[in-house]
Structure 1
Amino acid sequence: MTQIESNALRDVGRTRPVLENITNKWSILILTVLCTKPSRFNELRRRLDGITHKALSDALKRLERNGLVHRNVLPTSPVSVEYSLTALAQTLQEPFIALYDWALKHGPEMEQAQAMYDTTHTDKPC
Structure 2
Amino acid sequence: MVRRSREAETLLGELESELARSSEAAGVTLSWTPAERQHLDMIASTVDRRVHLQGRYNTTDPLDAKNLCRYSTEIRLCDALVSRLLGKVSTDVAPPMSQRSRRAQHAALSRWARDSGATG
Q: With structure 1 as the length reference, what TM-score do the two structures score?
A: 0.27
Structure of greater relative contact order (alpha carbons < 8 Å, 6+ residues apart): 2
Higher helix share goes to which structure?
2
More strand by share: 1
TM-score by length of 2: 0.28
